[in-house]
A = this chain, B = another copy of it.
Protein backbone atom coordinates (compact mmCIF):
# COMPACT_ATOMS: atom_id res chain seq x y z
CA UNK A 1 0.00 0.00 0.00
CA UNK A 2 1.66 3.20 -1.13
CA UNK A 3 0.40 6.68 -0.48
CA UNK A 4 2.23 9.01 -2.78
CA UNK A 5 -0.45 11.41 -3.90
CA UNK A 6 1.23 14.64 -4.88
CA UNK A 7 0.05 17.78 -3.17
CA UNK A 8 0.99 20.52 -5.58
CA UNK A 9 1.49 23.94 -4.09
CA UNK A 10 0.22 25.13 -0.77
CA UNK A 11 -1.72 23.19 1.86
CA UNK A 12 -4.47 25.71 1.19
CA UNK A 13 -4.88 24.81 -2.49
CA UNK A 14 -7.67 22.42 -3.36
CA UNK A 15 -8.29 21.60 -6.96
CA UNK A 16 -9.50 18.24 -8.25
CA UNK A 17 -8.55 15.48 -5.84
CA UNK A 18 -6.18 13.88 -8.36
CA UNK A 19 -7.18 10.35 -7.46
CA UNK A 20 -6.32 7.49 -9.85
CA UNK A 21 -9.48 6.72 -11.84
CA UNK A 22 -10.28 3.39 -10.07
CA UNK A 23 -10.16 5.15 -6.70
CA UNK A 24 -12.23 8.05 -8.00
CA UNK A 25 -14.80 5.56 -9.27
CA UNK A 26 -14.77 3.71 -5.94
CA UNK A 27 -15.22 7.00 -4.07
CA UNK A 28 -18.26 7.95 -6.14
CA UNK A 29 -19.85 4.52 -5.74
CA UNK A 30 -19.20 4.35 -1.98
CA UNK A 31 -20.67 7.82 -1.50
CA UNK A 32 -23.81 6.81 -3.37
CA UNK A 33 -24.42 3.26 -2.15
CA UNK A 34 -21.88 2.52 0.57
CA UNK A 35 -19.16 -0.10 0.51
CA UNK A 36 -21.43 -3.09 1.05
CA UNK A 37 -23.93 -1.79 -1.50
CA UNK A 38 -21.29 -1.45 -4.23
CA UNK A 39 -19.98 -4.19 -6.54
CA UNK A 40 -16.54 -4.35 -8.13
CA UNK A 41 -18.37 -4.56 -11.45
CA UNK A 42 -19.96 -1.17 -10.78
CA UNK A 43 -16.62 0.41 -9.90
CA UNK A 44 -15.01 -1.02 -13.04
CA UNK A 45 -17.83 0.35 -15.18
CA UNK A 46 -17.54 3.81 -13.63
CA UNK A 47 -13.77 3.75 -14.21
CA UNK A 48 -14.19 2.62 -17.81
CA UNK A 49 -12.27 -0.60 -17.12
CA UNK A 50 -13.01 -4.29 -17.44
CA UNK A 51 -13.24 -6.19 -14.16
CA UNK A 52 -9.93 -8.01 -14.87
CA UNK A 53 -8.39 -4.66 -15.83
CA UNK A 54 -9.47 -3.19 -12.50
CA UNK A 55 -8.24 -6.25 -10.59
CA UNK A 56 -4.85 -5.82 -12.22
CA UNK A 57 -4.36 -2.64 -10.18
CA UNK A 58 -6.60 -3.35 -7.20
CA UNK A 59 -7.07 -7.04 -6.45
CA UNK A 60 -10.25 -6.58 -4.36
CA UNK A 61 -12.96 -4.15 -3.34
CA UNK A 62 -11.22 -3.96 0.04
CA UNK A 63 -7.98 -2.83 -1.59
CA UNK A 64 -9.89 -0.02 -3.31
CA UNK A 65 -11.31 1.16 0.01
CA UNK A 66 -7.92 0.94 1.70
CA UNK A 67 -6.18 2.68 -1.18
CA UNK A 68 -8.73 5.48 -1.09
CA UNK A 69 -8.52 6.01 2.67
CA UNK A 70 -4.73 5.75 2.68
CA UNK A 71 -4.44 8.55 0.10
CA UNK A 72 -7.09 10.58 1.90
CA UNK A 73 -5.30 10.47 5.23
CA UNK A 74 -1.86 11.01 3.67
CA UNK A 75 -3.23 14.15 2.01
CA UNK A 76 -4.81 15.45 5.22
CA UNK A 77 -1.73 14.75 7.35
CA UNK A 78 0.68 16.28 4.87
CA UNK A 79 -1.39 19.43 4.56
CA UNK A 80 -1.68 19.80 8.33
CA UNK A 81 2.04 19.24 8.85
CA UNK A 82 2.85 21.78 6.15
CA UNK A 83 0.44 24.31 7.69
CA UNK A 84 1.94 23.92 11.16
CA UNK A 85 5.51 24.09 9.84
CA UNK A 86 4.76 27.33 7.99
CA UNK A 87 3.33 28.86 11.15
CA UNK A 88 6.73 28.83 12.84
CA UNK A 89 7.13 28.89 16.63
CA UNK A 90 4.10 30.95 17.58
CA UNK A 91 1.55 28.78 19.41
CA UNK A 92 -1.46 30.76 18.32
CA UNK A 93 -0.30 30.78 14.70
CA UNK A 94 0.20 26.99 14.89
CA UNK A 95 -3.26 26.57 16.34
CA UNK A 96 -4.88 28.71 13.67
CA UNK A 97 -2.95 26.79 11.01
CA UNK A 98 -4.05 23.33 12.09
CA UNK A 99 -7.65 24.48 12.56
CA UNK A 100 -7.70 26.08 9.12
CA UNK A 101 -6.17 22.97 7.58
CA UNK A 102 -8.78 20.71 9.20
CA UNK A 103 -11.57 23.03 8.11
CA UNK A 104 -10.41 23.33 4.50
CA UNK A 105 -9.93 19.62 4.14
CA UNK A 106 -13.41 18.88 5.47
CA UNK A 107 -14.93 21.54 3.22
CA UNK A 108 -13.14 20.58 0.00
CA UNK A 109 -12.79 16.83 0.52
CA UNK A 110 -16.16 16.18 2.09
CA UNK A 111 -16.87 13.05 0.04
CA UNK A 112 -13.59 11.47 1.08
CA UNK A 113 -14.25 12.51 4.68
CA UNK A 114 -17.71 10.93 4.46
CA UNK A 115 -16.36 7.59 3.26
CA UNK A 116 -13.61 7.72 5.89
CA UNK A 117 -16.06 8.20 8.73
CA UNK A 118 -18.81 5.88 7.47
CA UNK A 119 -16.79 2.96 6.16
CA UNK A 120 -14.37 2.47 9.03
CA UNK A 121 -16.78 -0.39 9.79
CA UNK A 122 -15.90 -2.02 6.47
CA UNK A 123 -12.13 -2.07 6.86
CA UNK A 124 -10.44 -5.45 7.26
CA UNK A 125 -9.08 -6.04 10.73
CA UNK A 126 -5.46 -6.05 9.60
CA UNK A 127 -5.64 -2.59 8.06
CA UNK A 128 -7.99 -0.89 10.48
CA UNK A 129 -5.35 -0.16 13.19
CA UNK A 130 -3.21 1.60 10.60
CA UNK A 131 -6.13 3.78 9.55
CA UNK A 132 -7.04 4.59 13.15
CA UNK A 133 -3.36 5.43 13.71
CA UNK A 134 -3.59 8.10 10.98
CA UNK A 135 -6.62 9.63 12.66
CA UNK A 136 -4.95 9.56 16.06
CA UNK A 137 -1.90 11.26 14.55
CA UNK A 138 -4.08 14.09 13.24
CA UNK A 139 -5.74 14.51 16.63
CA UNK A 140 -2.34 14.47 18.38
CA UNK A 141 -1.24 17.45 16.27
CA UNK A 142 -4.12 19.46 17.70
CA UNK A 143 -3.59 18.08 21.21
CA UNK A 144 0.09 19.01 21.27
CA UNK A 145 -0.48 22.54 20.08
CA UNK A 146 -3.22 23.12 22.65
CA UNK A 147 -1.14 21.57 25.45
CA UNK A 148 1.86 23.68 24.43
CA UNK A 149 -0.30 26.79 24.30
CA UNK A 150 -1.64 26.13 27.79
CA UNK A 151 1.92 25.63 29.10
CA UNK A 152 2.92 28.90 27.46
CA UNK A 153 -0.06 30.73 28.94
CA UNK A 154 -1.55 31.46 25.51
CA UNK A 155 -4.65 29.33 26.15
CA UNK A 156 -6.54 28.86 29.38
CA UNK A 157 -8.55 25.65 29.64
CA UNK A 158 -8.94 23.13 32.45
CA UNK A 159 -8.87 20.19 30.03
CA UNK A 160 -6.57 20.85 27.05
CA UNK A 161 -7.18 17.47 25.42
CA UNK A 162 -10.94 17.77 25.83
CA UNK A 163 -10.82 21.22 24.25
CA UNK A 164 -8.61 19.93 21.42
CA UNK A 165 -11.10 17.15 20.80
CA UNK A 166 -14.01 19.60 20.72
CA UNK A 167 -12.17 21.81 18.22
CA UNK A 168 -11.45 18.86 15.94
CA UNK A 169 -15.05 17.62 16.25
CA UNK A 170 -16.36 21.01 15.17
CA UNK A 171 -13.96 21.23 12.21
CA UNK A 172 -14.58 17.67 11.01
CA UNK A 173 -18.34 18.12 11.36
CA UNK A 174 -18.31 20.95 8.84
CA UNK A 175 -18.07 18.24 6.19
CA UNK A 176 -21.60 17.11 7.04
CA UNK A 177 -23.25 20.34 5.96
CA UNK A 178 -20.90 22.73 4.13
CA UNK A 179 -21.41 23.13 0.39
CA UNK A 180 -18.56 24.60 -1.64
CA UNK A 181 -21.14 25.99 -4.05
CA UNK A 182 -23.45 27.26 -1.30
CA UNK A 183 -24.11 30.75 -0.01
CA UNK A 184 -21.54 30.80 2.77
CA UNK A 185 -18.08 31.72 1.51
CA UNK A 186 -15.17 29.50 2.46
CA UNK A 187 -13.05 32.32 3.87
CA UNK A 188 -15.93 33.65 5.95
CA UNK A 189 -16.65 30.19 7.37
CA UNK A 190 -12.98 29.73 8.23
CA UNK A 191 -12.74 33.14 9.89
CA UNK A 192 -15.80 32.47 12.06
CA UNK A 193 -14.72 28.98 13.01
CA UNK A 194 -11.25 30.19 13.92
CA UNK A 195 -12.94 32.51 16.41
CA UNK A 196 -15.01 29.64 17.84
CA UNK A 197 -11.96 27.38 18.04
CA UNK A 198 -9.98 30.06 19.88
CA UNK A 199 -12.90 30.52 22.28
CA UNK A 200 -13.02 26.77 23.00
CA UNK A 201 -9.35 26.67 24.04
CA UNK A 202 -9.69 29.86 26.07
CA UNK A 203 -7.52 32.21 24.05
CA UNK A 204 -7.67 35.71 25.41
CA UNK A 205 -6.26 38.40 23.14
CA UNK A 206 -3.69 40.56 24.86
Is the interface on chain A under 10, 10 to 19, 20 to 34, or 35 or more residues?
20 to 34
A11 at the interface (CB under 8 A from B): no
Question: Which of the candidate stretches A15-23, A27-35, A79-87 sits at the interface with the other chain?
Answer: A27-35
Instruction: Among B32, B162, B169, point to the contact of A121 (Cβ < 8 A).
Output: B32
A163 at the interface (CB under 8 A from B): yes
**CB closest chain-B residue, reference A139:** B177
**CB closest chain-B residue, reference A165:** B177
A174 at the interface (CB under 8 A from B): yes
Across the interface, do B166 and A196 meet the contact criterion of CB distance under 8 Å? yes
Which B residues lie within 8 Å of A36 (CB)? 33-34, 36-38
Across the interface, do B200 and A196 meet the contact criterion of CB distance under 8 Å? yes
A172 at the interface (CB under 8 A from B): yes
A123 at the interface (CB under 8 A from B): no
Residues of chain A having any CB pair with chain B under 8 Å: 31-38, 114, 117-118, 121, 158-159, 162-163, 165-166, 169-170, 172-174, 176-177, 189, 192-193, 196, 199-200, 202
